[in-house]
Chains A and B, each alone.
Chain A
Amino acid sequence: MGKITFIEHDGAEHVVALEAGSSLMQIAMDHGIPGIDADCGGSCACGTCHVIVEAAWAGQLGAMAADEQQLLDMTPERASTSRLACQVQVTQDMDGMLVRLPEFQM
């Protein structure tokens, strides 16, 4: 069993168990990680599960669809490794991944 670490904007860390097959958003919601709103419940329709993945894992994340791209474009805190957590399918390869949360969800 692996782990994923969420780091809040103020530096607070939350280490949770990796659950392959779930979305990153679902894992965050299941563990009550603060700073992820998930207003649309995972439909890639609101942009409120924005996360910034540590660069070392960026290659593992899979391609981004146009709708995800468009929602991220609306976020002022967008970084080069920004993703919507609902669109990241977690795999065993993501063991140890660091995921930073932006200061705000729009």
Chain B
Amino acid sequence: MSIYSRAVDAAYTRAINTTSRFVPMHWQIRAIEQLIKAKRMTLGERPVPRFVEEPLPEVEALLLHEIDVSNPFLYRQGKWQSYFKRLRDEAPVHFQADSPFGPFWSVTRYDDILFVDKHHELFSAEPIIVLGDRPEGMALKTFIAMDPPRHDVERQAVQAVVAPKNLKEMEGLIRQRTQEVLDDLPLDQPFDWVETVSIELTGRMLATLLGFPYEKRHLLTYWSDLIAGSPEMTGGAFSDKSEVFSAAADMALHFAQLWRDNKARHADGTPHGFDLISLMQSHADTANLIDEPLVFLGNLSLLIVGGNDTTRNSMTGGVLAMHENPAEFEKLKANPGLISNMVSEIIRWQTPLAYMRRVAKQDVELGGRTIREGDRVVMWYASGNRDERKIDNPDAFLIDRKGARNHLSFGFGIHRCMGNRLAEMQLRVLWEELLQRFDRIEVVGEPERVQSNFVRGYARMMVKLSAKA
């Protein structure tokens, strides 16, 4: 970030924090929207890229410098494996000078990704971890996109909510909710697994984690899709800016309310629950977080998005992987003890988030290339998880794979996924309960994949269940 934009950013944050004492957060967001509209009328609009799907060429038809793995249709069109294999083999540290998101480096081999992820002193996570810029006015602050020392403080304040100790308390609840969803599924007739199971289960989990009203849980997944789906950040299909601002204002309104209700409840002497809002209020560093709306909303957004797309798409991806590899499903039925190992293999195979982005803090030599200070660097976990230099037979889905835990999907280093154990538990419980009930989970037709260069997910996947005899 330039000195000028840093100063603007700091002033903006200060203004929001100061006014938050007497202006409700959702009014502030509306005010920002009006401000940006006014600015656009006088100064013109920052262009939002519009992505129109066209068939991608075979990678062999391209010159190296023409390969652009930021294309949001690469995954949907099934071209990502060949594109990344060529980069790993011929240009493992690759520069794309002219993408719709601006110039960026791609790091595609496992060991190089590990190097970048570990060296946060060379590669900054600020100001954002997706490829493109933030939508104007939405300068939310979250620790996934902060460097130490601020990162460490902010992360520690909220990580207790997904710490294994807390999870032990929650496992019974997660299992019960999983059972309820599975018991209601239709047998022997096609239905959409994404909507009925994956979204429903992650929505219930998020509502529990956040202490959010259960009957309004669909809002959480709706907000999450909007936040993660912006075209300028990840090449997504959403483009109506007023919808994004309405959602942000609505989210602010709901969470400010939740914060106040929770505070009032504890003032009466009711003990704190293990949900996120309660944990924040009982922790000195975050007890007044509501006075910093951009951090408050930023951290909530991070937990909502972090707990939504990732688990949701691993829940769908696991079923697809089993359908495509029926011998593995037989292996699992014969030996349910493989579930934990299988969960790691599903997370590697799916890699629900394709990458994390960094910015070089100084010139760095990597793979024979010189990355310049200020350049964007993308660590393609989806590619590293298929790197034949590190992983045997990487395109195969093997539930008893040796070293299945050594995948890159959670990232490594100080930004390693905080919810990894929760995710593993949710998937383990899902598969334990599936095995109890169903003999066959057949995928009917082709699943619909999401338009994004970041989220590797499914919009729809029809399945047909056969009950266990």
Residues of A in contact with B (beta carbons under 8 Å apart): 37-41, 43-47, 67, 70-71, 73-74, 76, 103-106
Contacts and interface: CB of A to CB of B under 8 A. Distances in A.
Contacts of B155: 74
B416 A47 contact: yes
Interface size class for chain B? 20 to 34
A86 to B, nearest CB: 12
Contact of A40 (B165, B412, B420): B412
Contacts of A46: 410, 412, 416
Contacts of B114: 40, 43, 45
A38 B405 contact: yes
Given A43-B118, A106-B164, A70 B152 contact: yes
A76 B155 CA distance: 12
Nearest to B117: A45
Nearest to B118: A45
B251 to A, nearest CB: 28
Interface in B108-160: 114, 117-118, 148, 152, 155-156, 159-160
Nearest to B403: A41
Contact of A67 (B118, B156, B160, B406): B118
Given A39-B410, A43-B412, A73 B165 contact: no
A67 B415 CA distance: 12
17 contacts: A39-B410, A40-B114, A41-B406, A45-B117, A45-B118, A46-B410, A67-B413, A70-B148, A73-B152, A74-B152, A74-B159, A74-B414, A103-B164, A103-B165, A104-B421, A106-B163, A106-B421
A44 B120 CA distance: 13
A37 B413 CA distance: 15
Given A43-B114, A43-B118, A46-B416, A74 B165 contact: no
Given A39-B410, A46-B412, 10 more contacts: A45-B412, A46-B416, A70-B414, A71-B413, A71-B414, A74-B155, A74-B159, A103-B164, A104-B165, A106-B163
Contacts of B406: 39-41
B160 A76 contact: yes
B416 A104 contact: no
Nearest to B155: A74
Contacts of B405: 37-39
Contacts of B421: 104, 106
Nearest to B111: A43
Interface string B394-432: 000000000101100010111010001100000000000
A43 B411 CA distance: 13
Contacts of A38: 405
Nearest to B164: A104
A102 to B, nearest CB: 9
Contacts of A44: 118
Given A41-B403, A67-B118, A104-B421, A76 B413 contact: no
Contacts of A41: 403, 406
A47 B418 CA distance: 12
A106 B117 CA distance: 17
A74 B417 CA distance: 11
Nearest to B416: A46
A46 B165 CA distance: 18
Contacts of A104: 163-165, 421
Contacts of A70: 148, 152, 414
A91 to B, nearest CB: 26
Contacts of B164: 103-106
Contacts of B160: 76
A39 B148 CA distance: 23
Contacts of A74: 152, 155-156, 159, 414
Interface centre among A38, A39, A71, A76 (most CB of B within 10 A): A39
A101 to B, nearest CB: 13
Contacts of A105: 164
Nearest to A41: B406
Contacts of B118: 43-45, 67
B69 to A, nearest CB: 24
A72 to B, nearest CB: 11
A101 B250 CA distance: 45
Interface string B160-192: 100111000000000000000000000000000
A39 to B, nearest CB: 5
